Amino acid sequence: MSEKPHPTRRRGALVNARQDVAEGRSWRAIGRLRDRLKNVGYEDGIVRELGAIHLQIGDECAAGRWWLLSSAEGDDVTRCVNRYLAAFAGDVVAALEAAPSAARKCPMAKLPPIALERVRVLGFPIPIDGAQTLTRAPAERAGSRWSTWLHGAGCVLLVVVPMAIVLVGAIAWALAGLRALLS
């Protein structure tokens, strides 16, 4: 005997999210749509809706983050995308790396043409074949060597140094006990 699906699951994430927004639960709508992107990958309608919800709650920077790689157009979109890019002080690569991962990891052939044009205008090199994504390989990331070094140094400070202190203390305690026995 099979169970009937829950009534809200049949309608789809977008319809449910719009109902959540209408009922004043924008946070729930955002969570629902982000979960949808995690499960199925890039969907332009979901990304546009996330931007619209963030604009509705007054977060223009977050709206621009979602709209940067979507097909959304208009004055609000331009203003929000510019505000998002301004937060990165002209660092286009950093702005794209902070864009939603579902859009960054999507093959560029699946991204809307207007999104690719926005990225081209910003000066980010778009490969001609369209098979690549907007993410860079880890070896190409600026500062990756330093971040690895800092991570290693942090591990040494947090693990090795306290262990050495405990070991030195244990040896000193043992020597003090041995001296007490011998005297």
Q: What is the pTM of this model?
A: 0.65
Of 122, 135, 127, the closest CA to residue 92 belongs to 122
For 183, the token pair is 């005297």
Q: What DSSP designation does 122 have? A: H
pLDDT at 34 over 70: yes
* pLDDT value for 111: 85
Phi first, then psi: what are they for 124, rounded to 5°?
Answer: -80, 130
Q: Which DSSP letter does residue 70 get?
A: S
List, for residues 123-172, the tens digit of each pLDDT value.
Answer: 776 654 444 666 654 444 445 555 666 777 777 778 888 888 999 999 99
Residue 98 has phi, psi (to 5 degrees) of -90, -5
Per-residue confidence at 12, pLDDT binned at 50, 70, 90? confident
Q: Taking 50 as the threshold, does the pLDDT of residue 67 lie above it?
A: yes
Residue 105 contacts residue 69 (beta carbons within 8 Å): no
* 122 contacts: CB under 8 Å, gap ≥ 6: 85, 92, 95
Element (H, E) at 177: helix 161-182
DSSP-H helix ranges across 87-160: 92-97, 101-104, 113-122, 144-155
- Nearest residue to 70 (alpha-carbon basis) of 54, 86, 57, 56: 54
Assign 14 to helix, strand or coil.
helix
